[in-house]
Structure 1
Amino acid sequence: MNEETAVGDIQKQVQAALDRRVESGAERGLQVAVYRHGELLVDAVAGVADPATGRPVTPGTVFYNYSIGKAATATVVHVLVERGLFGYDTPVAELWPEFAARGKEAVTVRQVLNHTAGVPGLPLDTTVDDICDWTWICATIADSELWWKPGTAMGYHAYTFGYILGEIARRATGKRISQVLAEEVTGPLGVADELYFGMPVAEHGRLAVLEDQEGAADMMAQMPQDLPMFKAGPMSLFPTASLGNRTDVLAADIPAGAKTSARAIARMYAALLGGLPGTQLISPERLREATAVSFGGPDQVFGNDATWGLGFSLGLPGAEEKRAGVFGMAGAGGSYAYGDTATGIACAVTKNRLTMDFDAMMEVVALVDEEVAAG
């Protein structure tokens, strides 16, 4: 990516906040990038990407931050809809006939994007090798049964979101979604070497090494085992450092997540907001549709209340009140990236310690809010 330099008080304030988090031991390594109306305000890093070698985090370090990448998958779909290849209300089976099995013929692209498709789970005997096998996993999803009548309830499609939309993209274009991402999104934005679904093995030396927060496994073990989330896939597929550090997982197209730097995913949101001259990804009208409330209510898989646009979560995670204009995606471990149509802000926090909170992100948001209020 072309180097940009962020200067000013907000850069210094965010840098100091990151340094404090690393010095306190709360974080190992992290990045923050903030754009406003296309201008890079913050490009800050702190800590180490690999504790074993002491390799520091740089702005170009790539992090596997799990579901933060669902926004890139959704963006690909919006670009293809903009191109007229299909519509939001196109039945998935119109593009992918096998998907119609077991009563799924009416499921639409819109319902996949807003997590109401009713196909949130993978078989409980699915292995890590299986999720790296595109043909196998898509055949398995196509043959799966509905959990509810499509469009009548919402539940987070943790893995299936990416595979269904990825196969839609493949059927519509004849190309793997990773190729479409590079050609239609990351290439034009100049970040093809910092935002991937499947990351080439030769590039893995640039990745941050993930680590689990102490006590995270114990917290998971204490959760009631009859929760629907434990029926949506085996525990071996839950996002952990050991899963996210595997070479095969990092190299595979798993578009329920992505491998990205903060500045790459923030730049994508800046482009969606229309702030980057010459790099508009979708029209303002499409952005309004994609970021309007599409479905909200109790999540049938994870139990929380959620509000979805088309592929984007609306509002900030953990905030008591939904903030109008904010659309984004959180990642397991506390990473987050979002755009704000009200302020023109595009912001991303990526990190390699998988915490159970979003404290780092909320600290950055508070500093960004102060900058916006100050004009």
Structure 2
Amino acid sequence: MEAKGRCARGFEAVQQAFEAIFDDPQERGAGLCVQVGGETVVDLWAGVADLEGQKPWERDTLVNTYCAIKPFTAVAALMLVEEGKLELDAPVARYWPEFAQGGKEHITLRQVMSHTSGIPALRLPNRTPIMYGWDDMVEIMAAEPLWWQPGTDLGYGALTYGWIIGELIRRVDGRDPCAFIAENISQPHELEVHMGVADEHFHRIAHFDRAEGRTGDQYALDLREVIVNQPEHVATLAFTNPGVCPKATHDPRWWRYRQPGVNGHGTAHGLAGFYSALLAGQLIGSELLSEFTREHSNSMDRTLLRPMRYGLGCMMEQPADPAASNCMGPNTFGHVGLGGPVSFADPERDVTFGFVTTTMGSHVLMDPRARQLATLAYAAL
């Protein structure tokens, strides 16, 4: 399939590989953006945005990106640290007193951002019926007891991250956290990344769904085995309570949903542009950027069930897991969304990368499609 957009000289192999993705009849639509020094060298899109194959994918087509938006939320919190409204090592309960329930009085913002808070999931009962009510969910979040003592172990907070950091932003700034992110990050830098899509933009949203026959790597298979067979395991509950399966992404309530840890809709150039603005010092100063990209945790993750390495709200290269590599430099940082979407930056080469897709694979971290594209982009530099 021939892609639309543009590709700078020297990056032709990237375009060829992007177009070759669509040799698989399950692939419907995708977008790719690579920027170097803030300048776009690859901006491609192809395919269709609907299930019936009638609606062409456009440059401004929005698609579900799941957790790829977590670094936006982290940077929003760091903006408030820079303003003196939050402190990384202050207890969350200083700003949100109700959060101290269940032994959580000593959890810090830094621990939440580096996934060492000891509160990566909500226990049963199932919270899916009330997941769209922010006040309901933060009340539940405040009452939830610890799984383990803060700072003693690593567990990715797939959903809890968004409620905790989002509520902190709301408490100290007064704005809805997704409004804060839109007004301070996305809109000023013209980034097509939305956390809660306005109704007038619903027509731009692509249909996101799972592909058949894709198994993922062994870590993904092991995680799926736990989710299917151990309903009260912390890993199961981190991803299913409430449920955020692909079917949920077809619901207008999901499109409107303002959960700044798990629910983004965006474009490849919006995601790559975020990291370009970050590297250019346009979002936070150099001191906090260094904190954001410094290793804060590195061990076997009890919810992802694989070795993970985190900064402050970003995933970092993990040498112990080459299959999850961003395929660029050793100091690469960024974030995936479940099943394919990903964006990251390589500060040594001043390169940023964004990939979005309608066709959800089974890899929990770096999808093979994005791995090949990133490898070829790096070779072209």
If the length of structure 1 is used for normalisation, what is the TM-score? 0.90
**Gaps in structure 1 of 5+ consecutive residues:** none
Q: Does 1:232 align with 2:238?
A: yes
**SS of equivalent to 1:50:** coil
**SS of equivalent to 2:229:** coil
- CA deviation vs aligned residue, 1:109-145 (integer Å, no higher than 9, x gap): 0000000111111233334342211000000000000
**What is residue 343 of structure 1 aligned with on the other side?**
349
Contact 2:34 2:351 in 1 (8 A): yes
Structure 2 CA distance for partners of 1:283 and 1:351, relative to 1, 3 Å? same
**SS of equivalent to 1:88:** coil
State the alpha-carbon separation in 1 of the partners of residues 306 and 287 from structure 2: 30
Contact 1:327 1:339 in 2 (8 A): yes
State the alpha-carbon separation in 2 of the partners of residues 65 and 198 from structure 1: 12
Q: Does 1:370 align with 2:371?
A: no
State the alpha-carbon separation in 2 of the partners of residues 123 and 154 from structure 1: 17
Structure 2 CA distance for partners of 1:99 and 1:235, relative to 1, 3 Å? closer
**What is residue 241 of structure 1 aligned with on the other side?**
246
Q: Does 1:87 align with 2:87?
A: yes
Contact 2:127 2:241 in 1 (8 A): no
State the alpha-carbon separation in 1 of the partners of residues 145 and 129 from structure 2: 22
State the alpha-carbon separation in 2 of the partners of residues 206 and 67 from structure 1: 20
Q: Offset at 1:341? A: 1.1
Contact 1:199 1:251 in 2 (8 A): yes
State the alpha-carbon separation in 2 of the partners of residues 209 and 247 from structure 1: 12
Structure 2 CA distance for partners of 1:146 and 1:235, relative to 1, 3 Å? closer
- CA deviation vs aligned residue, 1:143-202 (integer Å, no higher than 9, x gap): 0000111011110101000110000000010000111011110111012xx211111122
Q: Offset at 1:286? A: 1.4
Contact 2:138 2:163 in 1 (8 A): yes
Structure 2 CA distance for partners of 1:112 and 1:222, relative to 1, 3 Å? closer
Letter in 1 for 2:181: L
The percentage of aligned residue pairs carrying the same residue is: 29
Contact 2:34 2:43 in 1 (8 A): yes
Q: Offset at 1:222? A: 4.7
Contact 1:163 1:256 in 2 (8 A): yes
Greater CA deviation, 143-152 or 227-236? 227-236
Contact 1:10 1:367 in 2 (8 A): no
State the alpha-carbon separation in 2 of the partners of residues 359 and 142 from structure 1: 38
**Gaps in structure 2 of 5+ consecutive residues:** none
Structure 2 CA distance for partners of 1:10 and 1:263, relative to 1, 3 Å? farther
**SS of equivalent to 1:49:** coil
State the alpha-carbon separation in 1 of the partners of residues 15 and 30 from structure 2: 10
State the alpha-carbon separation in 2 of the partners of residues 26 and 249 from structure 1: 23
Contact 1:19 1:47 in 2 (8 A): no
Q: Does 1:310 align with 2:312?
A: yes
**SS of equivalent to 1:45:** strand
**SS of equivalent to 1:76:** helix
Q: Does 1:331 align with 2:346?
A: no
Structure 2 CA distance for partners of 1:236 and 1:167, relative to 1, 3 Å? closer
State the alpha-carbon separation in 2 of the partners of residues 133 and 6 from structure 1: 42
Letter in 2 for 1:353: T
If the length of structure 2 is used for normalisation, what is the TM-score? 0.89
State the alpha-carbon separation in 2 of the partners of residues 287 and 121 from structure 1: 28
Q: Offset at 1:231? A: 3.7
Q: Offset at 1:10? A: 4.7
Q: Does 1:168 align with 2:168?
A: yes
From 286, 289, 313, the equivalent of 2:288 is 286
**What is residue 138 of structure 1 aligned with on the other side?**
138
Contact 2:342 2:354 in 1 (8 A): yes
In the comparison of the two structures, how many residue pairs are matched?
361
Letter in 1 for 2:322: A
State the alpha-carbon separation in 2 of the partners of residues 321 and 134 from structure 1: 32
State the alpha-carbon separation in 2 of the partners of residues 25 and 315 from structure 1: 32
Structure 2 CA distance for partners of 1:45 and 1:125, relative to 1, 3 Å? same
Q: Offset at 1:26? A: 5.3
State the alpha-carbon separation in 2 of the partners of residues 21 and 216 from structure 1: 14
Letter in 2 for 1:240: C
Q: Does 1:22 align with 2:53?
A: no
Structure 2 CA distance for partners of 1:26 and 1:326, relative to 1, 3 Å? farther
- CA deviation vs aligned residue, 1:197-251 (integer Å, no higher than 9, x gap): 11112211101101111146997875462353124354761x4321112111110
State the alpha-carbon separation in 2 of the partners of residues 253 and 320 from structure 1: 32
**What is residue 319 of structure 1 aligned with on the other side?**
322
Let me know the Cα RMSD of the aligned residues: 2.2
Q: Does 1:96 align with 2:96?
A: yes
